[in-house]
Chain A
Amino acid sequence: MNYIFYGLILISIVFGAITGKLSDVVNAILSGAELSVKVAFSLIGIMAFWLGIMKIAQECGLVKILAKLLTPITKILFKDIKSDNEAIGDIAMNFTANALGLSNAATPIGIKAMQELQEVNKDKTSASDAMCMFLAMNTAGFQIVPATVIAVLVSVGYKNPTDIILPVLIVTTIAFVSAIIIALIFKKLWRVQ
């Protein structure tokens, strides 16, 4: 990120100087900074509402119920891990929390799952197949309702922001399933030396 940040600003100033748009570039600093705060403030209301609803889902045990329903699938994906290992349940919980957009709740559970996977890992400095599968599921970022994106759309006056829920759901599902398939393929190809 350091190089990207530096690169963006360097290119802007040098390119702006060449094209004679340097004054526009300077003005963009001011308008950009203002826009950032506007965006953050427009997020507050919707994020507060969504996280409030999700807190209820957590408190009433709905997250746990969903995680339990997913456990059989988790067992199939993590064949190397004994089914009585706590990691199986934690992975299901982590996935459910992420799917609901509760990343603050998902991360601690995910770290706990990683620690449990590390205990049964043979080489403590190298990722096990189970870890790679778990993180493949995580990096694909399966999410049912993209609350922040909807909030930004609302702030620019988008008429029906919920229109994007289904397209996002389709794309995120495709990415998620691909991630699992790719991880399974690599598991076969990428043997531990």
Chain B
Amino acid sequence: MVSILNVISLWILPLIILTILTVGLIKKVPIYEVFTEGAKDGFKVSINIIPYLVAIIVSISMLRASGFIEYIGTMFGGLFEALKVPIEVLPIMIVRSLSGSAALGVFSDIAHNLGPDSYATKLAAVMVGSSETTFYVLAVYFGSVGIKKFRYALVTGLLADFIGIVAAIFVCHFLV
């Protein structure tokens, strides 16, 4: 079962790339030039997030060094252990709806400190990869048209985020 799923995972990326390049060629798009044009944005995007990454990775590193995360771990450890969730991913659950770069920062910190083989890294990857910053999305879109009363938009977003976290825990427990 798991190996079939890994095969699907493996094939998604090559198939997307091949499809896009093929359609591009058929439609007579200068794929090489367009590719390099788009790739320039990759540089900009990566450099632009440095300030946010510094803010989050530094403060999370400090928090870890102070022993606070372990302390919280001993307080809530029972609950997290029962759910088979490593305590390290707790900051991701909190920060995920607030800031995408913060979630990415915490995830990078986990991945670098606990290594590629740890379950925490995998679970964090799935949690971060499947999320969108609810508060940011609402601020940008409602702000753009001057909506003041969000009605149930925020509750809906946060409930869906919560379901996403629970789903990530379950899916990782069975698949990863």
Interfacial residues, chain A to chain B (CB-CB below 8 A): 1, 4-5, 8-9, 11-13, 15-16, 19, 21, 24-25, 27-29, 31-33, 35-41, 43-62, 98, 104, 107, 110-111, 114-115, 117-118, 123-127, 131-132, 134-136, 138-141, 143-146, 148-150, 152-153, 155-160, 162-172, 174-176, 178-179, 182-183, 186-187, 189-190
CB-CB under 8 A from B125, the residues of chain A are 146, 149, 152-153, 164, 168
CB-CB under 8 A from B138, the residues of chain A are 135, 139
> Known contacts being A48-B43, A111-B141, A135-B141, is A149 close to B107, with CB within 8 Å?
yes
On whether the beta carbons of A166 and B175 are closer than 8 Å, the reply is: yes
Count, chain B residues at interface, CB 8 A: 104
CB-CB under 8 A from A140, the residues of chain B are 132, 157, 160, 164
User: How far is A57 from B31 in the complex, measured between Cα atoms in Å?
Assistant: 10
9 smallest beta-carbon distances between A and B, as pairs: A141-B132, A55-B38, A48-B42, A146-B129, A32-B61, A139-B157, A175-B164, A47-B42, A52-B39
Contacting residues of chain B (122-176) with chain A, CB-CB under 8 angstroms: 122, 125-134, 137-138, 140-142, 144-153, 155-157, 159-161, 163-164, 167-168, 171-172, 175-176
Residues of B contacting A: mostly: helix
Interfacial residues, chain B to chain A (CB-CB below 8 A): 5-6, 8-10, 12-13, 16-17, 19-21, 23-24, 26-27, 29, 31, 34-43, 45-47, 49-50, 53-68, 71, 95, 98-99, 102, 104-105, 107-109, 111-112, 115-116, 121-122, 125-134, 137-138, 140-142, 144-153, 155-157, 159-161, 163-164, 167-168, 171-172, 175-176
CB-CB under 8 A from A169, the residues of chain B are 12
**Max chain A C-beta neighbours (<10 A), residue from B31, B130, B141:** B130
> Known contacts being A51-B39, A52-B39, A163-B6, is A127 close to B128, with CB within 8 Å?
no
Taking the closest CB of chain B, its distance from the CB of A9, in whole angstroms, is 5
Set A155, A166, A172: member contacting B164, Cβ < 8 A: A172
On whether the beta carbons of A162 and B157 are closer than 8 Å, the reply is: no
A sample of 21 cross-chain residue pairs with beta-carbon separation below 8 angstroms, ordered by A number, consists of A8-B63, A32-B57, A32-B59, A35-B112, A36-B58, A48-B39, A52-B35, A54-B38, A56-B21, A56-B31, A60-B23, A104-B41, A114-B141, A123-B149, A135-B157, A138-B132, A139-B134, A140-B160, A167-B168, A167-B176, A175-B164
